[in-house]
Structure 1
Amino acid sequence: MDKKLMRILIYGINYYPELTGIGKYTGEMASWFAQQGHDVSVFTAMPYYPEWEIHKQYRGKLWYKEVIDNVKIYRCPFYVPKRINSKKRILHEFSFLWSSSFRWLPALFKKRFDLVITINPPFYIGFFSYIYSIFKKTVLITHVQDLQIDAAKNLEMLSNQEALNIMFKLEKFLLRKSDFISTLTLGMKERIIKKGIGESKIIMLPNWVDTDFIKPIPKDQSLRNQFNIPINDTVILYSGNMGKKQGLDLLINVAGQYKYRSDVHFIMVGAGAEKDNLENMAREKGLSNMKFYPLQPYEKLPTLLATADIHLVLQKKDASDLVMPSKLTGILSAGGCAIVTAVLGSSLYEDIRNHDMGILCEPESEQALKEAINIALLRDTTQIKKNARKYAERYLNKDKILTSFMSLINKN
């Protein structure tokens, strides 16, 4: 492909103005492409994540077009369950597959896109991208944000072996038919190679951060006043999605062991499928030291991160190297000290250890989490915070990452 301005189509369920997870990064990617002069379109759904509720200004809309940051966004209606289980999630994803078909059919008869980027999960929406690439001879990229089937299997969200085998075969087919596959971590890359995919077509595209916007700021400029927390007390913050992959139920029990410490506050900020359950558990245990708050606007993210003395980046053992916790990039850029659950030998574990930019903790262990918190409470974490910021500036800069990504595509 020549180095020239392109017509780019991005296809995925999640997109801006979702503030966390995949939608945040897809939105920033599309905006960056448009800033470089490319003609960018997006086929996506109504924003709903992580609240699992369609945002107020989009309710009642069907097939809807809007333009944000010079990106043409074509939204589709779909089913969003109030309570999530495996069957409802599948119905949720297939409803988007159906509604987005009304975007793809007209696209076959219009001016050709030079590049189509499919955002996984869900993996099976890639069939529309693949069909389009056959008819239009376009370059097809599959961007793997989450190895969804592996995670569903390992987290026992899907146990039907026959169904799993079919899904793995379909996933492999779509990966093989892609011109390029991009993914977040070396661990995810290794897992994709083990699926029978050639290493030469895999491009690293780690999640990034705006290091100019998210940077270290003093506590007195944080949200401590808003949360009514004294400046000298200790704040342990979990911010982001509250779902099954995070395994946050054990945090409730750990927080209970600090009830006697009036100067230690557990702050939970965000939304997700498990939030109501977590709030009920905290209420039943009488955890006056744990408070829940809604997801904060993006413009408040630096002040939110500055509120914490200790950040929590938690996920279950079986999610290691299958998902890269997106919240970690912001914490590193803010110069925060994070307790990170990671399995020995995983790429996340190696990065944290090699750069001394956090406190490692065994996943799914109350005892290990409590010990890690005790270490963070007693240790001088100044150097960890400096290392975190240094790593973000060197490896997580958005312009550097996306420029490198486009260079690799153009080179081929």
Structure 2
Amino acid sequence: MNILFLTLVRITDIEERGIYTDLMRTFRDNGHEVFIVCPMERRYKEKTTYTTHQGNVHILNVKTLNVQKTNLLEKGLATLSIEQQYYRAIKRHIKHVTFDLVLYSTPPITFTKIVKKIKQRDGATSYLLLKDIFPQNAVDIGLMKKDGPIYRFFRKKEQRLYAISDYIGCMSPANVEFLLKHNPLLPPNKVEVNPNSIQPVKLEFSEDEKQRTRNKYGIPLDKNTFIYGGNLGKPQGLAFLLSVMASNSNKEDRFFVVVGTGTEYPMIEAWFKRYAPKNAMLLPGLPKKEYDQLVQSCDVGLIFLDPRFTIPNYPSRLLSYLEYKMPVLMATDKNTDIGRIAEENGYGLWSLNGDLPGFNATLDKLCQDTHLVQEMGERGYRFLWNNYTVDASYNMVMKYLKRN
């Protein structure tokens, strides 16, 4: 079968690890022809390119404005223009291909016309991987006014995308519940849980490698090390992370590593320069392989979300923590179920973002019990293999194609 995948994630190498590349490799390995359409943002100063990898994977990198990790104005313009840019590139490079499945992820919510045209032309099945509920997420964190003209414009686009989708895969049960509650015209039988997933690798990271990695970055060998890695943006509610580090600055048994890129990086960098904490460090974004090595050298993974969210986010950074047998310590809003699922299955601890005494109590608990840390890490690793693998996600999508 011919699979068309539309995404905002820049993909140049199908062998790179990630939730989308892992899934696309699974389609490839099951004998399908895969066509990936993704951005080549202007920051890379490259033209639109179309390349073929290993015969049956084709990547169409479309020149666009900067879509991610940029200011709101450019992000908005990029979101509005990307559908037309993608459609022109598809017509130029792969118009001869008849597709059986069109798979796409949010953000953005502006792929409706492409999906509609492919469905009408080819009779393709359409499947939405819902990773972001926009525009409500922008309303929640104060970037957009509820029921204002901009909100209403994007809300109509969101509703059209849901309507054109034959099936919608959500990240968690709370996402399904939210989607159906706020979109009552959606038939419940087209919405299901199809979570973030990866192709786990059974990695052997020795104590010697762990020590070498810590020495490379200047991370103490004798401290409980907590890492926050990934996007450093407004949705993460990172002011609370700074409060956590400040309140633990005199604790000698723990160390914090913050690594990544995003719009909040300058704010975090300014805090580090001002306070120069002795038990914390800030690193810029790293290549995937180096980032994975750094994560594996730490003890506990951190997840933060802005407490104002009404939508149930489910950050994909959870997966790398579970894969590396790390407990997960979370401070989020009350609406996401990521903390509840973690606590019910024994691989994580949760508190409300802003509850400093509560969060510090969970920090103390993990610092005082190394056996608990190891036990929770093992539970998370098993939970990953049982619930968050790309084979399961692939089979969920394919059952609809086999039916048609």
Common topology (TM > 0.5): yes
1:236 to 1:386, Cα distance in 2 relative to 1, 3 A = same
Matched, 1:228 2:218: yes
Residues 24-71 of structure 1 show CA distances to partners (whole Å, capped at 9, x for unaligned) of 32222222211211111112111x6xxxx84xxxx3322211233541
Matched, 1:311 2:319: no
Q: For 2:47, which of 62, 71, 83 is the aligned residue?
A: 62
**1:401 match: secondary structure:** helix
Segments of 5+ residues of structure 1 without an aligned counterpart are: 1-5
* Post-superposition offset of 1:218: 4.2
Residues 219 and 231 of structure 1 are in contact (CA less than 8 Å); yes or no, is this contact kept in structure 2? Answer: no
**TM-score between both structures, scaled by the size of structure 1:** 0.87
Q: For 1:256, which of 246, 264, 273 is the aligned residue?
A: 246
Q: For 1:113, which of 86, 99, 121 is the aligned residue?
A: 99
Q: Percent identity?
A: 18
For 1:298 and 1:80, locate their aligned partners in 2 and report how far apart those are by CA, in whole Å: 21
Residues 134-179 of structure 1 show CA distances to partners (whole Å, capped at 9, x for unaligned) of 2332222222111121211111111152321332222112211211
Question: Which residue is equivalent to 1:180?
Answer: 167
Residues 186-241 of structure 1 show CA distances to partners (whole Å, capped at 9, x for unaligned) of 1111122121211111233211133224x474443222121122322221111111
The one-letter code matched in structure 2 to 1:124 is T
For 2:25 and 2:354, locate their aligned partners in 1 and report how far apart those are by CA, in whole Å: 37
Q: How does 1:72-87 map to 2 (within 5 A)?
A: 72-80=58-66, 84-87=70-73
Segments of 5+ residues of structure 2 without an aligned counterpart are: none
* Post-superposition offset of 1:308: 1.6
Question: Which residue is equivalent to 1:31?
Answer: 25
Question: Which residue is equivalent to 2:235?
Answer: 245
For 2:244 and 2:267, locate their aligned partners in 1 and report how far apart those are by CA, in whole Å: 16
Question: Which residue is equivalent to 1:3?
Answer: none
Matched, 1:205 2:172: no
Residues 309 and 333 of structure 2 are in contact (CA less than 8 Å); yes or no, is this contact kept in structure 1? Answer: no
* Post-superposition offset of 1:320: 6.2
For 1:128 and 1:72, locate their aligned partners in 2 and report how far apart those are by CA, in whole Å: 18
Question: Which residue is equivalent to 1:164?
Answer: 151
Question: Which residue is equivalent to 2:114?
Answer: 128
Question: Which residue is equivalent to 1:396?
Answer: 388
For 2:67 and 2:109, locate their aligned partners in 1 and report how far apart those are by CA, in whole Å: 20
For 1:228 and 1:310, locate their aligned partners in 2 and report how far apart those are by CA, in whole Å: 17
Question: Which residue is equivalent to 1:11?
Answer: 6
Residues 337 and 385 of structure 1 are in contact (CA less than 8 Å); yes or no, is this contact kept in structure 2? Answer: yes
Aligned residues: 395
The one-letter code matched in structure 2 to 1:99 is Q
Question: Which residue is equivalent to 1:141?
Answer: 127
**1:361 match: secondary structure:** strand
C-alpha RMSD of matched pairs (Å): 2.6
1:111 to 1:383, Cα distance in 2 relative to 1, 3 A = closer
For 1:18 and 1:108, locate their aligned partners in 2 and report how far apart those are by CA, in whole Å: 19
Residues 359 and 372 of structure 1 are in contact (CA less than 8 Å); yes or no, is this contact kept in structure 2? Answer: yes
The one-letter code matched in structure 2 to 1:120 is T
For 1:249 and 1:199, locate their aligned partners in 2 and report how far apart those are by CA, in whole Å: 38
1:356 to 1:343, Cα distance in 2 relative to 1, 3 A = farther
Residues 263-298 of structure 1 show CA distances to partners (whole Å, capped at 9, x for unaligned) of 432111111111121111121123232212233333
Question: Which residue is equivalent to 2:79?
Answer: 93
The one-letter code matched in structure 1 to 2:38 is T
Question: Which residue is equivalent to 1:381?
Answer: 373
**2:64 match: secondary structure:** coil
1:242 to 1:232, Cα distance in 2 relative to 1, 3 A = same
Question: Which residue is equivalent to 2:177?
Answer: 190
